Amino acid sequence: MTKDKKGVKYALAVSKRDMYFPSNTSVYSLYATKFNNTSKSQMFSYDSVKDTLSPHTNLKYVVTSGVKHNLYVFYDMGLMNQKFHIDKAAKSIYSEFTKRKIHGLKTPFKL
């Protein structure tokens, strides 16, 4: 979760529609939207064994880093660009693939 200059809270959410609709590719986009404390599309779980982030809407999918530093949701295939780490000191989550921080993730755990 992050705030804009006016103090409005935003979080990343998973789209309900396939990114390439009407095709069914199982690729879902992440987008910034106003924070909603009850929205499952804004909730993610961290698997510390596999180092993956899964949306609560479908736990068989994981957040994936694209080559162009974009984020999307796809099947968990154990790929390097699907691994994320938590930096508790900096209170942030970063991609193992791109080494970039991810802002706007609302997670059920405290950093």
Q: What is the pLDDT of residues 23-54, one digit of tens each?
A: 888 899 888 888 888 888 888 888 889 999 89
Question: Domain for residue 53, yes or no?
Answer: yes
Cα separation, 66 vs 86, whole angstroms? 19
- Biggest distance spanned by C-alpha atoms of the chain: 43
Question: Domain for residue 111, yes or no?
Answer: no
Q: Binning pLDDT at 50, 70 and 90, where does residue 76 land?
A: very high
Which CATH number does the domain housing residue 70 bear? 2.80.10.50
Supply the pLDDT for residue 104.
56
Question: Domain for residue 109, yes or no?
Answer: no
Question: Domain for residue 68, yes or no?
Answer: yes
Whether 61 has a pLDDT exceeding 60, the answer reads yes
List C-alpha distances in Å: 15 to 3, 40, 59, 89. 21, 11, 14, 31
Question: Domain for residue 108, yes or no?
Answer: no
- Residues of the domain holding 51: 2-102
Provide the domain count of the chain.
1
Average of per-residue pLDDT across 95-111:
67
Compute the Cα dihedral for 81, 47, 86, 45 and give only its sign: positive
